[in-house]
């Protein structure tokens, strides 16, 4: 069917191999989204649902923002593409300046990628390039953390710590990667905000440094709040301790802020929220409000300078870093991201998220009494509701998701945890609606 007379319901679902999906099940009982506006989605049966996870954390500003659509369309009319290698266009520099105004001081050199995974892969490569530029080429090891999620290319899969993502691909993963234990401790059940206990989990990094030689480790990467495995909040003092251990051994600290970046915690970045500065940070998703793929790595100025200085003497036109993507900072993504920056500023959006978060967290924790709920965790405008495991991991999470979808609230489950992350434009009545529908969906699941 030509795109001009495309319908909401395709003739065949067979050919599209869907990502991270139970394809067989989905195709028997599809859930197709046809329209999105503000905080609401409509599916192919005409059912209206509230979007309780900002579309995988992508659209905190709401769906269908005219300012973004118009900026993208204007950009397409003027300059639809230009190659990003040894050429450029003004917008990407303007955007870099604006991003650097919001990142922690000194983390002000901006490398564009295509998505979160490529941002993580790029951060890994920059870490290696930096150490080599300093003459320290023995640092090849990386440290990740169990239950971490950093994306799905080989580098990001390796430093991630979710077993199902790794099992099939074990033979092709990066060598030299160790994992710290996660911080998902039994006493953190139903804890609101940062747990008081668990700071000692950071000593795993020291232990790995002792076992493998801190001088061999290039970088340690963590999500300040682990998002995909159900909102695991760092215990008080944990991130600070990681920073201290990294400094002691000359290890770079990478914060993966693909989820926590751009206001999810109530500050622009979790780094500022928790008062710990990494050396590199990654972002994606909300950078363009999800409408055009884009990833970003923000890098300490000293790292950039070191890599650039190390190539002096090379012939003109030689890249200092042999890395980049055809779609690094392309005009259409930049246009969307600049429009997003305008909205962030005009609507003081991070403040709005911060002000709404206690109301959201109270609502989330009000679900504590539900029968099958075994834990609730949350921070800022993100939260995880963990369901009691039934037979096998993931079964109760998915069944609950389906009951909630029927009740009119959409989100994503990871395993048995429901990932809830409302849009920052939500008013109290929208938060109430999310919580009410979650209550209905979870209760219906319990009765089923």
Asked if 258 is part of the footprint of ligand PLP (rule: CB under 6 A), the reply reads: yes
Least distance to ligand PLP from the beta carbon of 145, Å?
Answer: 11
Closer by beta carbon to ligand PLP, 4 or else 164? 164
In order of 177, 432, 435, the CA distances from 429 in angstroms are 46, 5, 10
Residue spans of beta strands (DSSP E) within 22-76 = 33-37, 40-43, 48-51
Q: How far, in Å, CA of 338 to CA of 21, rounded? A: 32
In order of 191, 221, 363, the CA distances from 439 in angstroms are 19, 36, 10
Least distance to ligand PLP from the beta carbon of 274, Å?
Answer: 15
Q: How far, in Å, CA of 188 to CA of 242, rounded? A: 20
Count residues binding ligand PLP (CB under 6 A). Answer: 14
Site track 175-214 with ligand PLP (rule: CB under 6 A), x = hit = ----------------------------------------
Site track 261-300 with ligand PLP (rule: CB under 6 A), x = hit = -----------------------x----------------
**Which range touches ligand PLP (CB under 6 A), out of 37-45, 253-261, 330-338, 432-440?**
253-261
Q: How far, in Å, CA of 312 to CA of 314, rounded? A: 6
Phi, psi of 111 (to 5 degrees): -110, 130
Site track 138-157 with ligand PLP (rule: CB under 6 A), x = hit = -----------xxx------
String of DSSP letters for 259-321: TTTTTTTSSSSHHHHHT---SEEEE-GGGGTTSS--EEEEEEHHHHHHHHHTTTTSPTT--SS
In order of 185, 371, 373, the CA distances from 443 in angstroms are 26, 8, 10
Tokens standing for 42? 């409509």
Which listed residue (75, 117, 183, 410) binds ligand PLP by CB under 6 A?
A: 117
**Which range touches ligand PLP (CB under 6 A), out of 8-16, 113-121, 137-145, 305-313?**
113-121
Q: How far, in Å, CA of 397 to CA of 416, rounded? A: 4
Give ∠ CA 109-110-113 in degrees, rounded to 5: 150
Least distance to ligand PLP from the beta carbon of 114, Å?
Answer: 8
Which listed residue (39, 41, 50, 115) binds ligand PLP by CB under 6 A?
A: 115
Q: How far, in Å, CA of 45 to CA of 48, rounded? A: 9
Which listed residue (51, 204, 256, 386) binds ligand PLP by CB under 6 A?
A: 256
Asked if 259 is part of the footprint of ligand PLP (rule: CB under 6 A), the reply reads: yes
The residue behind tokens 């246009």 is 335
Closer by beta carbon to ligand PLP, 373 or else 419? 419
Least distance to ligand PLP from the beta carbon of 339, Å?
Answer: 19
Tokens standing for 31? 């859930």
Q: How far, in Å, CA of 356 to CA of 352, rounded? A: 6
Closer by beta carbon to ligand PLP, 58 or else 407? 58
Tokens standing for 19? 């990502």
Site track 215-234 with ligand PLP (rule: CB under 6 A), x = hit = --------x---xx------
Closer by beta carbon to ligand PLP, 52 or else 435? 52
Which listed residue (55, 62, 84, 116) binds ligand PLP by CB under 6 A?
A: 116
Closer by beta carbon to ligand PLP, 256 or else 372? 256
Which residues sit at the interface with ligand PLP, rule CB under 6 A? Answer: 115-117, 120, 149-151, 223, 227-228, 256, 258-259, 284
């Amino acid at each position: 069917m030509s795109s001009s007379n495309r319908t909401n319901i395709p003739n065949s679902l067979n050919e599209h191999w869907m990502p991270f999906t139970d394809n067989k099940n989905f195709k028997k009982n599809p859930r197709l989204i046809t329209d999105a506006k503000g905080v609401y989605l409509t599916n192919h049966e005409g059912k209206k649902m509230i979007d309780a996870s900002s579309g995988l954390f992508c659209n905190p500003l709401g769906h269908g923002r005219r300012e973004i659509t118009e900026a993208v369309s204007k950009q397409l009319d003027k300059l639809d593409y230009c190659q990003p290698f040894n050429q450029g266009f003004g917008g990407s520099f303007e955007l870099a300046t604006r991003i650097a105004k919001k990142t922690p001081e000194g983390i002000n050199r901006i490398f564009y990628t295509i998505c979160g995974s490529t941002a993580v892969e790029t951060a890994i490569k920059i870490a290696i390039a930096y150490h080599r530029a300093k003459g320290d080429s023995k640092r090849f090891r990386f440290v990740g953390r169990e239950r971490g999620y950093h994306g799905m290319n080989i580098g990001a899969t390796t430093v991630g710590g979710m077993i199902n993502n790794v099992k099939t691909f074990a033979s092709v993963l990066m060598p030299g990667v160790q994992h710290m234990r996660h911080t998902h401790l039994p006493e953190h059940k139903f804890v609101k905000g940062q747990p008081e206990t668990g700071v000692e989990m950071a000593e795993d990094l020291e232990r790995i440094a002792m076992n493998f030689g801190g001088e061999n480790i290039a970088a340690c990467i963590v999500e300040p709040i682990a998002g995909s495995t159900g909102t695991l909040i760092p215990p008080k003092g944990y991130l600070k301790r990681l920073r201290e251990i990294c400094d002691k051994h000359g290890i770079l600290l990478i914060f993966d802020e693909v989820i926590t970046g751009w206001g999810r915690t109530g500050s622009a970045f979790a780094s500022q929220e928790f008062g710990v500065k990494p050396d590199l940070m990654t972002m994606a998703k909300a950078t363009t409000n999800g409408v055009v793929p884009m990833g970003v790595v923000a890098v300490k100025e000293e790292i950039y300078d070191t890599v650039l200085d190390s190539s002096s003497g090379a012939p003109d036109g030689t890249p200092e870093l042999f890395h980049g993507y055809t779609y690094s900072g392309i005009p259409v993504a930049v246009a969307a991201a600049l429009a997003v920056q305008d909205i962030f500023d005009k609507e003081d959006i991070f403040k709005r998220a911060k002000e709404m978060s206690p109301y959201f967290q109270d609502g989330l924790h009000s679900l504590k009494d539900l029968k099958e709920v075994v834990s609730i965790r949350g921070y800022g405008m993100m939260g995880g509701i963990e369901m009691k495991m039934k037979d096998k991991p993931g079964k109760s999470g998915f069944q609950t998701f389906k009951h909630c979808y029927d009740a009119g609230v959409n989100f994503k489950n990871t395993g048995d945890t429901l990932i809830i992350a409302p849009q920052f434009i939500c008013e109290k009545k929208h938060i109430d609606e999310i919580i009410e529908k979650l209550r209905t969906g979870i209760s219906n699941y319990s009765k089923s």
